[in-house]
Chains A and B, each alone.
Chain A
Amino acid sequence: MFSSNSTSQNTLIVSLKIKLSKLLLQPTFLIGIVLVIILSYLVIAPIVSIFSNSVSLTMMDAMLSGGKDGEFTYKYIDRVFTSSISEKIFWIPLKNSITVSFFATLIALTLGLILASLVTSTNILGRKYLGFLLIIPYMLPSQAMATAWLTMFKNRKISGPQGMLESFGITPPDWLAYGPLPISICMALSYFPFAFLLFSSALSKIDIQLEEVASTFGAKTKAIWSKIILPLLIPTTMSVLLLTVARTLGTFATPYILGTPAKYTLLSTSLYSSVRSNDSGVVAVIAIVLSLIGLMLLLVDIWVVRKWQRFVTVGGKGIKRQPSKLGVFRMPTTIFAWIIFLIAALGPFIVLALSTLMREPGNFAFSNFGLAYWTGVNVPGMDQPGIFTSPEVITALKNSFLIAGSAALICGILGLLIGYAVVRLPGTLISGFLRQISFLPYLMPGLAFAAAYLSLFAVSRGPIPALYGSMSLLILVMVVTYLPYASRSGISAMMQVGPEPEEAGMVLGAGFWRRITTILAPLQKSALIIAIILPFITGMKELSLVVMLVTPGTELLTTQSIRFLDFGYTQLANATILIIGVVVMISVLILNRVTKTNLASGLGG
């Protein structure tokens, strides 16, 4: 460009002009660039800011201790890892997190494997329905299980209405009501459907010929399972293991509801306490630790998948395994599977619903039933309006729809745009960058990401105004967090559409927008709907991501239910959770209708 030779400068200008006109004709490149800029800011900036927060003095501390706002300090790293309180705020929570994750994962994995084997490969009764019904716990917000547990088992240790068992005269001991045991069980029951789905799909992909060969050679069913099928499931098992651990580490609601009364702190609740007490340097450090654990787990997962890839045999051209006859075990296994469904899916619904209909827990007299908690103007004993008359709940309901809805819409469109740019610009730097960066948020637990957003958008930076306290912050953080799923599905959806239809359009003189609206959009209609409904469902039941970011006026249904719990209004919290459950169920049904398949398997978030 700085060549003194004027001829070469001219050619350069001409070639630039040609490039520019190409750009205008084919804005893929432009879209790619714009996406790169937007995503760099939305994804990388929070990560940078959280790292810088962990080593710079906060404004609050600067004010109190007289230092300079933002000056370099080891104070927070020290506080988390080595100070006199490090044990309380980090090491014990870390130990507890590991314990709980271990047991929760173990239970979830076992349940998932057993149930998947039963449903896919045996003649258990009602297997057709179980395939869908066992996924229901996954659709409920994570606090549903925990509050249902609390409604059932709580004792006089903490205040609020009596637990159901207690009202029957049975006082559950503390270890059953609060702490590691209920947390592990509730997390396991919330997350086993995930294991169930992965194992089911792995089992149905195993080449049936392997089994046929074995049985031709006279191998018994038992031998086929222990020597062929289970070893082939090892990679899936590892994936389930790592992903479930990652998930349990990031879960906030369960330990908050069931751990707090017993002062059983996990990393997620310790992080939240630090947020509540304005200790933002410590928040940054713990968030980084959580992200690093997430990153580590993901790397191990990738490594395992690579290492085992050579053993994966995907063949089975649609030949379904003949369900093996269970004989005398048919009834016991059937009962087992249905009991799991009862406990994990139906149970919480019944407990939550009952608690909102009974004025006094445990009193089954007809007169004790009523709709006071739903439609009452002033609920007896609470000095609070019922759910449908409470302005707070109405606002939260509106906000939930508005925020999750807009986030889903943006996320779906952005996902397809990224897919478009990645697929249409193959081999370019932009394509690779977009692919990687849109996946980055996957590594950070919701709480850590929210902490980063909180610090990044609290004040105005350059052209971006301070978003704290506005709905746009909540929408933004949801969009970015759900982007990994949206962009993955966007990329795979775009892969399926070759460039030919568009090229044909171009030949016929159709401009870019015309091509998009008349060729691409109709082709991708159902992909778009899926890409919108899935984040919507996740957004409706989101808690850990938003619990630190909501402000009065931007409360969502999930955070409102936590507020109710804080005040001991258990019934109102339960009713709020039921509303979320119903909205999510309806969305899933719509999704199933649109796609005509069981899309519960796509519920990645």
Chain B
Amino acid sequence: MTLTDGGKMTKTKIISLITSFFFGLTLLFQPVVSFAMTLDELIAAAQKEGEVNTYWHSSRMGKKVAAAFEAKYGIKVNATKMKDSEMTERIVREVSSGNVIVDLVGYDDGPFLDTVLTPKGMVENYVPPYLAKDIPADSQKPLIYLWQPFVIGYNSETYGASCPIKSLWQLTEKDWSGRFHMWDPRIASSMLQMFSAMEDRSDELAASYKKHYGKDLKVSEANAGLEFVKRLAQNNPVLYNEDYEIAVAVGTKGQSKAPIGIYSLGRHRENAKKNLALALCEVEPFKGLNQPTYMQIVKGAPHPNAARLLAYYVLTQEGANPWVGVVGAYSSNSSLGSSPDNPYPTAEAWKGTLLVSNNTNVAKRRADLMDFWIKHSK
């Protein structure tokens, strides 16, 4: 499309140029147009797509939300529960093969999202404009939809009203060898996020050691956080793919030497239904990790509007209820309440006793932390 075609520009050429300019312009504004849809327009567009595929960190998407969403909008939700390492693999594979199956992901690996998926344009950050004012700015980019405390828990039938350990360092004692149950850090990035956050707050770990044992911690690694990770790895923890199993191992009744474990606080809701005796361990200096879960639309999603509608839905009271209506989770939508069964009404009320990782630090350290863990685990 050269303008200097023989020095002369024909009328048709000019017209075609103008048309293609406007055509390009409309292409350019396409996404903006869809962002500016009203909720009703979004619902209509989503219903036209008919279904939406999700990979989710929690089975409640498939078990609860899917049915309610379909009943309300007539849109089918195909939900697969998946650990984040697998989700990462799939998102990258699908986007780079051009064969995108998934639309919306509920994803725990913030560091990977921040350093790879977002910069490479493999996901689209969609903050439902209808709710934006209720979502704190620091949870919007990328969008966090849920905060889930992963807590240290114990068996209240075996040990009564108070946790058998007072300091996290006791988990590295011989007495608890083979009796701490946790996720496999090779599979769940949350554990690496926890290790990284421990490095960030090394001083508190060292102080807690001094308070408990009355002497200074001998640090042979770069910092007290790493020292803890090393000693924990050497103390033979039992590793799992799923925290359901951790909760069952810890909470099953009738044990004389019940283990301690880290699992999502939400497991406490199953105490009655599955006859477990799980209780929160009031341990110093940290009671666990506050895990943000991100919600992103995958680039090239086959059902983008249905994905947007579902993203909106799980940020409303009705859609968030499977998580926030029971113990163990806080919505990033500050206008939604949380279950009275939670030990604290909001994430802030835990007052720093939950670790929160810094995505940049985790991204920088994760490979080394992983190798460090593998090297020291028995």
* A contacts, CB < 8 Å to B: 59-60, 63-65, 83-85, 88-89, 156-160, 260-261, 263, 273, 276-278, 381, 383, 458-460, 465-466, 468-469, 551-553, 566-568
Contact = CB atoms under 8 A, between A and B. Distances in A.
Contacts of A60: 88, 92
A567 B81 CA distance: 12
A383 B247 CA distance: 14
Contacts of A552: 55, 80, 82
Contacts of A458: 93, 96-97
A59 B92 CA distance: 9
Given A160-B248, A276-B85, A383 B377 contact: no
A36 B296 CA distance: 45
Given A84-B371, A159-B181, A383-B273, A566 B248 contact: no
Contact of A64 (B97, B178, B367): B367
Given A158-B249, A159-B249, A159-B252, A466 B181 contact: no
A553 B62 CA distance: 14
Contact of A263 (B85, B96, B248, B377): B377
A157 B245 contact: no
Nearest to A454: B93
A381 B96 contact: no
Given A159-B247, A566-B242, 10 more contacts: A59-B96, A64-B363, A65-B367, A159-B248, A159-B252, A260-B239, A263-B378, A383-B270, A458-B96, A465-B99
B274 A64 contact: no
A459 B96 contact: yes
Interface of B: 55, 80, 82, 85-86, 88-90, 92-94, 96-99, 101, 115-116, 120, 178, 181, 186-187, 236, 238-242, 244-250, 252, 255, 257, 270, 273-275, 363, 367, 370-371, 374-375, 377-378
A549 to B, nearest CB: 12
A273 B178 CA distance: 20
Contacts of B93: 458-459, 466, 468-469
A540 B244 CA distance: 29
B51 to A, nearest CB: 13
Given A64-B367, A568-B245, A459 B85 contact: no
16 contacts: A64-B367, A83-B371, A88-B374, A156-B249, A158-B249, A159-B181, A160-B249, A261-B238, A263-B377, A381-B274, A458-B93, A460-B97, A465-B99, A468-B94, A552-B80, A568-B242
A273 B98 contact: no
Contact of B187 (A65, A277, A468): A277
A469 B101 contact: yes
Nearest to B81: A552
Nearest to B275: A381
Contacts of A459: 93, 96-97
A55 to B, nearest CB: 19
B178 to A, nearest CB: 7
Contacts of A88: 374-375, 377
A59 B97 CA distance: 12
A60 to B, nearest CB: 7
A157 B238 contact: yes
A335 to B, nearest CB: 39
7 nearest CB pairs, A to B: A159-B249, A466-B97, A552-B80, A159-B248, A277-B186, A568-B245, A63-B116
Contacts of A83: 371
A273 B255 contact: no
A466 B274 contact: no
A345 B88 CA distance: 41
A458 B186 CA distance: 22
B85 A568 contact: no
A566 B93 CA distance: 24
Contacts of A157: 178, 238
B248 A273 contact: no
B85 A277 contact: yes
B89 A278 contact: yes
B248 A568 contact: yes
A568 B243 CA distance: 10
B98 A466 contact: yes
A139 to B, nearest CB: 29
Contacts of B240: 159
Given A88-B375, A276-B187, A468-B99, A567 B244 contact: yes
A403 B330 CA distance: 43
A567 to B, nearest CB: 6
B28 to A, nearest CB: 28
Nearest to A61: B367
Nearest to B246: A159
Nearest to A69: B96
A457 to B, nearest CB: 9
Contacts of B55: 552
B362 to A, nearest CB: 11
B274 A567 contact: no
Contact of B94 (A84, A89, A469): A469
Contacts of B378: 263
A131 B90 CA distance: 47
Nearest to A88: B374
Contact of B374 (A59, A89, A260, A465): A89
A160 B178 CA distance: 16
Contacts of A466: 93, 97-99
Nearest to A469: B101
A85 B374 contact: yes
